[in-house]
Amino acid sequence: MNPDYVTFSKNVFIPVTNICRNKCHYCGFRRDPDSADAHLMTPDQVSVLLSKGASNNCAEALFTFGEPDELIHEALGKIGYSNFIEYVADLCRVAITHGSLPHTNAGTLSYDELRMLKPLNASMGLMLETIASVAVHKDSPSKAPEIRLRVITDAGRLRIPFTTGILVGIGESREDRINSLMAIRELHLRYEHIQEVIIQPFVPKPNTPMSNHKPPSTEEMQETIALARRILPLEVAIQVPPNLMPLHLSIPYGVSDLGGISPVTIDYINPDNEWPALEALGSCVRLRERLPIYPRFVLGNWYGAETEELISKYADEDGFRKC
């Protein structure tokens, strides 16, 4: 990666639903279907956010949601759908009509579901989190490492530019972090599809079982970033969200990307951690804007077929966002 600049993507964050069958002990985002604040965004609500994103020159539509399965059937039926992934596919089409490139962080999809979404996405993602079996995932069936590794493998088989990462401070050991990074490395060496790896610190949330659990120390994070940079191939970017760790504490250890930063939406997963302004970040380090798909995958034509027109419009000759 080029040490002279740090990349980022300007996005609009769309939390399609917070209904989720998993009950991760650290998550403040999920809700049960009968919760007063459970939601499933309608196409009109999504369009409002996409319009705001377009007005603010955002190239990426980040679709994030829980893993609702059968929990969401009733809500889906009210808007005329019976299949959640088909609904997500339609939302991706809506994003494209608004001039946004979808990046879907869709949970543990099947091979066929990934194949359905591939043409409609510039890139996709799924956090591995950890290769270890940890107590905080005991009520979260789809957090089984073998399931998540299968999804990342299937994305490689389908040549989907992919984002993954690990979550630091959820009960895993240093050895677990190394093994998780090694597992990601092995999949990338086989399929060459990993564009970035997120090193994300656990952040305690109120009203969760881990609300009083200490987050990882700065030193733990810095060591893990450095481990990731040593273990992963150089073409794989290392990302730490700048709303979770200051740049001057992360970049010297190997961070080369800041992920998606939104001028119009909050980080719904970490709502108390505001995005820093791009102007402030740019005063600390030289920034270079990218698309949700990394330059080498733009140049290699790995993007979904239905995103080609937008990528041609937005990408410069090197595969970055046109100035």
- Domain spans, the chain: 6-305
Residue 237 backbone dihedrals phi, psi, to 5 degrees: -75, 150
Task: List the structure tokens of 209.
Answer: 């079982």
Please, are residues 280 and 29 in contact by the beta-carbon 8 Å criterion? Answer: no
| Cβ 293 vs Cβ 122: under 8 Å | yes
DSSP structural state of residue 257: E
Per-residue pLDDT of the chain (323 residues; tens, 9 = 90+): 556 899 999 999 999 999 999 999 999 999 999 999 999 999 999 999 999 999 999 999 999 998 987 889 888 998 899 899 999 999 999 999 999 999 999 899 999 999 999 999 999 999 999 999 999 999 999 999 999 999 999 999 999 999 999 999 999 999 999 999 999 999 999 999 999 999 999 999 999 999 999 999 999 999 999 999 999 999 999 999 999 999 999 999 999 999 999 999 999 999 999 999 988 898 889 999 999 999 999 999 999 999 999 999 999 999 999 98
CATH level 3 topology of 6-305: TIM Barrel (3.20.20)
Residue with tokens 């998540």: 148
Sequence-distant (≥ 6) Cβ neighbours of residue 80 within 8 angstroms: none
Structure tokens at 138: 């005991």
Residue 313 burial (10 A CB sphere; 0-12, 13-18, 19+)? exposed
Is residue 215 within 8 Å of 201, Cβ to Cβ?
A: yes
In this structure, the strands spanning 194-201 and 123-125 are unpaired
Helix (H, G, I), strand (E, B) or coil at 248: helix
User: What are the tens digits of pLDDT across the range 121-144?
Assistant: 999 999 999 999 999 999 999 999
Residue-wise pLDDT for 160-183, tens only, equals 999 999 999 999 999 999 999 999
Q: Are 256 and 7 in contact (CB under 8 A)?
A: yes
Backbone angles phi, psi at 68, to 5 degrees: -80, -30
